[in-house]
Structure 1
Amino acid sequence: MKKTIIFGATSAIAQETAKILAQNGHALFLVGRNKEKLKIIADDLSVRGAHKIITSTVDINNTSEHSAIIQNAIDEMNGLDIALIAHGTLSNQKACEISYTEAYTEFKTNCLSAISLLTLIANHFEQQASGTIIAISSVAGDRGRQSNYVYGSAKAAISIFLQGLRNRLHKKNVRVITIKPGFVDTPMTKDFEKGILWADPSVIAQGIIKAIEKKMDVVYLPWFWRYIMAVIKLIPERLFKRLSL
């Protein structure tokens, strides 16, 4: 029986991933901001077969609480095998361009808070010489675009941080998996016009489970985003800066 902690457990991708983990009999420690929503999710996961479910309500930006949350999860579940970091916000690019405070707040949520969690979890898994870390980055971090470069730069930083962790922890029998979704149809993107490149959260969740089972490193979801981003990264900067992306 695996013991898994999920940060940002109320997000659409996290919920769909938790459903699969519950069906596989995992013990789940769910961390989120909304107590009522966490309870609804926990009740659903219990019906789906989760071995044990514990919830914790917290503002993830309050990094001073991170150590206590992780230790509580370890104590309550008598250990920890998997950590999924799935929290985040979709930045208001225009507001961030005007205000450093707005930009910093978004960067703290999408990058700094995750780095805090990753540091603590990595140290625990390194000490026990086992464990799997999965963190959701984004294809937006592969190249800076005028439409979302604050969000993209935060995700770029997370991707590089995860790459360094992966290199550091490889010999310690700890897996570090970077998930890079493309466009996902979630409540966070409800105001966007959808097209053929958009994916359902359940598709991303299935990809995350596959990445865990196959011990993968960097995963683009759906798979075709790897090739889309490969092309985008090849565009010379002198041309790229002229594009309205």
Structure 2
Amino acid sequence: MRFAVIGGTGLIGSQVVRGLDLAGHEAVPLSPRTGVDVLTGEGLDDALKDAETVVNLTNSPTFDEASLAFFQTSMTNLLAAARRSGAGHVVILSIVGADKVPGLVYFRAKTLQEEALRTGAIPYSIVRATQFMEFIGTILSWTAEDDTVRLPRTLLQPIASADVAAAVAAVAAGPPLNGARDVAGPDTYPLDELGRITLAARGDPRSVITDDSAGMFAAVHGDVLTVGEGADVAPTHYADWLEADLKPRA
């Protein structure tokens, strides 16, 4: 099969391309560097030519109000080009619980993206993932102050990006779901505990202060960012990922 992977040079996209290629498919990575602009539509028609499946892994450069326009415009342009090309399957990556946290603009934007795909005329699949293990350090940096990090007790179920990419590739290579599949890591942590584990493993002397009003995830209540029955649970544990991430690169 031939796949057009929009955002195919990013953290997830590059791994999806590699996985599809290793499985014997032809996966073409597309990005502004290859002349494809999802906001203007430039290069989309040529990029999607002969693609049986389109995988959209582009992401808004910001988490603010601008993300709403980004996902609305990019999906409108992408779906129009996919229809013209005759693609039979469009896949996007979204977030577990995005539709349950209206207080976060970025989550509303991802929900808007999902809705645009659902109401389009092309068979589709949505892969919803929990927060990436690779981004935990960034999350901690948002509320870092000198020698402390303030974090809420929000429940997270982090997943390794490699496991996300594997899930996206598997769904893309299969028949359209015309629905969503949730995927998450095997362990659930309160964010403040996850922060303590991460800092300790990295030898970071900063302390974590539990503050349920701190940072973006303060807007999240309950377990909406974790998965329920029927979801796919990936194999990589955070402790194992963290240990591997700390090893010196060859």
TM-score, length basis structure 2: 0.60
**Equivalent residue, structure 2, for 1:164:** 119
Q: 1:29–1:73: 8 Å Cα contact kept in structure 2?
A: no
Residue 60 in 1 paired to residue 38 in 2? Answer: yes
Give the conservation status (yes or no) of the 8 Å contact 1:9–1:86: yes
Of 182, 199, 210, the residue aligned with 1:220 is: 182
Query: How far apart, CA to CA, are the structure 2 residues paired with 1:178 and 1:83?
Result: 12
Local SS of the residue matching 1:191 = helix
Percent identity between matched residues is 13
Counterpart selection for 1:71 from 46, 49, 52: 46
Match of 2:213 in 1: none
Structure 2 residue 81 is the aligned partner of structure 1 residue 120:
yes
Tell me if structure 2 keeps the 8 A contact 1:7–1:87: yes
Q: Work out whether residues 14 and 86 of structure 1, in 8 Å CA contact, stay in contact via their aligned partners in 2.
A: yes
Q: Distance in 2 between matches of 1:222 and 1:134?
A: 18
Residue 87 (structure 1) aligned to one of 54, 58, 64: 58
- CA distances 1:139-193 after superposition (whole Å, capped 9, x unpaired): 25312343xx22111111111122222xx44xxxxx3111211111346x64114
The structure 2 residue matched to 1:110, chosen from 40, 50, 71, is 71
Q: Structure 1 residues 196 and 158 mapped into 2: Cα distance closer, same or farther (>3 Å)?
A: closer
2:147 is equivalent to residue 191 of structure 1? no
Shift of residue 116, structure 1, vs aligned partner: 1.3
Distance 1:185 1:72, change over 3 A: same
Provide the alpha-carbon RMSD of the alignment: 2.9
Cα deviation, residue 90, structure 1: 6.1
2:94 maps to 1:137: yes
Map of 1:210 onto structure 2:
170
Shift in Å at residue 87 of structure 1?
Answer: 0.6
Matching residue's letter, 2:139: F
- Give the Cα separation in 2 of the matches to 1:156 and 1:28: 27
Report the equivalent of 1:19: 18
Q: How many angstroms apart in 1 are the aligned matches of 2:137 and 2:71?
A: 19
> Which residue identity lines up with residue 191 of structure 1 in the other structure?
T
Structure ranking higher in helix proportion: 1
Task: State the 1:219 CA deviation.
Answer: 1.0
- Superposed CA deviations along residues 38-68 of structure 1, whole A, max 9, x for unmatched, are xxxxxxxxxxxxxxxxxx13443223x1xx4
Report how far residue 121 of structure 1 moved.
0.4
**Structure 2: gaps spanning 5 or more residues:** 142-154, 188-217, 221-250
Decide whether aligned partners of structure 1 residues 156 and 22 sit closer, same or farther in structure 2, where only a CA change above 3 A counts: same
Q: Is the 8 A contact 1:90 1:151 kept in 2?
A: no
Matched, 1:152 2:103: no
Q: Which runs of 5+ in 1 are unaligned?
A: 36-55, 97-102, 170-174, 226-242
Compare CA radii of gyration and give the structure with the larger one: 2
Structure 1 distance, partners of 2:102, 2:2, is 38
Paired residue secondary structure (2:182): strand
TM-score, L = length of structure 1 = 0.61
Q: CA–CA distance in 2 between the matches of 1:86 and 1:244?
A: 25
